[in-house]
A and B are shown apart, each in its own frame.
Chain A
Amino acid sequence: MSAIRIALKDIRQRLRDRSFYLWGIAAPLGLAAIFSLLFGNLAAGAFDFTFAVADEDRGPQSRVFVEQVLEPLDEAGVFSVREVASAGAAETQAEKGEVDAAFLIPAGFSAAATSGGQAELRVVANVDRPIAGQAGRAIAGQFAAGINAVGTALRTYFALDPHEPTQEEVAALAQAAQAQPELLTLTETAAGSKELSAKTYFAAGMAILFIFLTVQFGVLGLLEERQNGTMGRLLAAPISRRSIVAGKALTSFILGLVSMVVLVVGSSLLLGAEWGNPLGVAILVLAAVIAAMGVMFVVAALARTPEQAGNLQAVIAFVLAMLGGSFFPIAQAGGLLERVSLITPHAWFLRSLGDLATGGGPGAVFPAAIYIALFGLVTGGLAQLRIGKVLAP
Chain B
Amino acid sequence: MERRPVLEARGLRKAFKDLVAVKDVSFSIAEGETYGLLGPNGAGKTTTISMAIGLLERDAGEVLVDGREIRTTSTTAKAAIGYVPQDIAIYPDLTARENLTFFGSLYGMTGKALGERVDEVLETIGLKERAKDRSGEFSGGMKRRLNIGIGLLHRPRLLMLDEPTVGVDPQSRNAILESVERLSAAGMAVLYTTHYMEEAERLCDRVAIIDQGEIKAEGTRAELVSLVGERDKVRLAASGQLAAALPVLRVVAGVEEATVGEESIELLVAGADRALAPILAAAAGAGISVHSVDVDEPNLEAVFLHLTGKALRE
Q: Report the Cα distance A234→B89, complex, angstroms.
A: 10
Q: Report the Cα distance A232→B105, complex, angstroms.
A: 16
Contact A233 B108 (CB under 8 A): no
- Judged by a CB distance under 8 angstroms, whether A236 is at the interface is yes
Contact B106 A2 (CB under 8 A): yes
Report A229-241 CB contacts with B as 1/0, cut-off 8 Å: 1101111111111
Assuming the contacts A5-B105, A9-B102, asked whether A236 and B53 have C-beta atoms less than 8 A apart, the reply is yes
Contact B75 A238 (CB under 8 A): yes
Contact B85 A12 (CB under 8 A): no
Residues of A within 8 A of B77 (CB): 238
- Judged by a CB distance under 8 angstroms, whether B178 is at the interface is no
Q: Report the Cα distance A12→B95, complex, angstroms.
A: 11
- Judged by a CB distance under 8 angstroms, whether B239 is at the interface is no
Contact A230 B89 (CB under 8 A): yes
Most buried by B among A16, A234, A237, A239: A237
- Judged by a CB distance under 8 angstroms, whether B311 is at the interface is no
Residues of A within 8 A of B93 (CB): 12-13, 16-17
Assuming the contacts A233-B89, A238-B78, asked whether A9 and B94 have C-beta atoms less than 8 A apart, the reply is yes
Report A39-51 CB contacts with B as 1/0, cut-off 8 Å: 0000000000000
Q: Report the Cα distance A236→B107, complex, angstroms.
A: 10
Assuming the contacts A5-B102, A239-B106, A240-B73, asked whether A232 and B89 have C-beta atoms less than 8 A apart, the reply is yes
Residues of A283-326 at the interface with B, using a CB-CB cut-off of 8 Å, are: none
Q: Report the Cα distance A9→B196, complex, angstroms.
A: 36
Residues of A within 8 A of B50 (CB): 393
Residues of B within 8 A of A229 (CB): 85, 87-89
Contact B81 A236 (CB under 8 A): yes
Nearest residue in A to B84 (C-beta to C-beta)?
Answer: A233
Nearest residue in A to B90 (C-beta to C-beta)?
Answer: A230
- Judged by a CB distance under 8 angstroms, whether B171 is at the interface is no
Assuming the contacts A232-B85, A240-B75, A393-B50, asked whether A13 and B91 have C-beta atoms less than 8 A apart, the reply is yes
Assuming the contacts A233-B83, A236-B55, A236-B81, asked whether A228 and B94 have C-beta atoms less than 8 A apart, the reply is no
Residues of B within 8 A of A12 (CB): 93-94, 98
**Min distance, Cβ B150 to any Cβ of chain A, angstroms:** 7
- Judged by a CB distance under 8 angstroms, whether B76 is at the interface is yes
Q: Which of A230, A232, A239 contacts B55 (CB 8 A)?
A: A232
- Judged by a CB distance under 8 angstroms, whether B308 is at the interface is no
Q: Report the Cα distance A2→B107, complex, angstroms.
A: 9
Q: How large is the interface on B (under 10, 10 to 19, 20 to 34, 35 or more residues)?
A: 20 to 34
Q: Report the Cα distance A277→B173, complex, angstroms.
A: 64
Contact B76 A233 (CB under 8 A): no
Q: How large is the interface on A (under 10, 10 to 19, 20 to 34, 35 or more residues)?
A: 20 to 34
**Min distance, Cβ B50 to any Cβ of chain A, angstroms:** 7
Report A125-136 CB contacts with B as 1/0, cut-off 8 Å: 000000000000
Contact A9 B83 (CB under 8 A): no
- Judged by a CB distance under 8 angstroms, whether B226 is at the interface is no
Report B95-116 CB contacts with A as 1/0, cut-off 8 Å: 0001000110111100000000
Contact A9 B78 (CB under 8 A): no
- Judged by a CB distance under 8 angstroms, whether B241 is at the interface is no
- Judged by a CB distance under 8 angstroms, whether B36 is at the interface is no
**Min distance, Cβ B110 to any Cβ of chain A, angstroms:** 10
- Judged by a CB distance under 8 angstroms, whether B238 is at the interface is no
Contact A237 B102 (CB under 8 A): no
Q: Report the Cα distance A229→B150, complex, angstroms.
A: 13
Most buried by A among B53, B55, B88: B55
Residues of B within 8 A of A241 (CB): 72-73
Residues of B within 8 A of A232 (CB): 55, 83, 85, 89
- Judged by a CB distance under 8 angstroms, whether B54 is at the interface is yes
- Judged by a CB distance under 8 angstroms, whether B56 is at the interface is yes
**Min distance, Cβ A259 to any Cβ of chain B, angstroms:** 19
Q: Report the Cα distance A2→B81, complex, angstroms.
A: 18
Nearest residue in A to B134 (C-beta to C-beta)?
Answer: A16
**Min distance, Cβ A80 to any Cβ of chain B, angstroms:** 60
Q: Which of A228, A235, A238 contacts B108 (CB 8 A)?
A: A238
Residues of A within 8 A of B105 (CB): 5
- Judged by a CB distance under 8 angstroms, whether B288 is at the interface is no
Q: Report the Cα distance A276→B77, complex, angstroms.
A: 53
Q: Report the Cα distance A233→B54, complex, angstroms.
A: 11
**Min distance, Cβ B158 to any Cβ of chain A, angstroms:** 11
B positions within 8 Å CB-CB of A: 50, 53-56, 72-79, 81, 83, 85, 87-94, 98, 102-103, 105-108, 150
Given contacts A233-B83, A233-B85, 12 further A-B contacts (CB under 8 A): A2-B106, A9-B94, A12-B93, A228-B90, A230-B90, A237-B78, A238-B79, A238-B106, A238-B107, A240-B73, A240-B75, A393-B55
A positions within 8 Å CB-CB of B: 2, 5, 9, 12-13, 16-17, 228-230, 232-241, 392-393
21 interchain pairs (CB within 8 A)? Answer: A2-B106, A5-B102, A9-B102, A12-B93, A16-B93, A16-B94, A17-B93, A228-B91, A229-B85, A229-B87, A230-B90, A233-B85, A235-B55, A236-B55, A236-B78, A237-B107, A238-B75, A238-B76, A238-B77, A239-B75, A241-B73
